[in-house]
Amino acid sequence: MINSMLASILSTINALLALAIILAGAGAGSSYAQENGYGSGLGIVVGLIGGLLLAGMICGVLALLIDIRAGIKEVAHLLRQQQTGMHDRT
C-alpha cells in the first residue's frame, strides 16, 4: 500500500520535474538570446526544444521505470489469480 502511494507520488513529481525542466530551458534560451543579440522569441523556442529533449531523457527513464513497476505488479496479480484457480480445481 505504501509502495503504491510512493509510486503515485513519484509519478506526479516526475511530471512536475519535466515541466520545470522545459520551462527552465525556455528561460535559459531567452536569456542567452538576449545576451547575444538574438530575438528572445527565437531563444524561447530553442530553449523549449532543448528543455523538451532534456526532460524526455531524464524524466522518460523515470517514467519507464514506473511503467515497468506497474507491469510487474499486474503480472504478479495475474499469477496469483492463476494459482488460486489451480488450487480450486484440485
**pTM (2 decimals)?**
0.74
Among candidate residues 61, 25, 55, the one with its CA nearest the CA of residue 43: 25
Q: Is residue 88 very low, low, confident or very high in pLDDT (cuts 50, 70, 90)?
A: low
- Answer yes or no: is pLDDT of 5 > 70: yes
8-53 pLDDT tens trace: 898 899 999 999 999 999 999 999 999 998 888 999 999 999 999 9
Give the whole-angstrom CA distance, residue 46 versus residue 30: 9
44-81 tens-digit pLDDT: 999 999 999 999 999 999 889 888 988 998 999 999 98
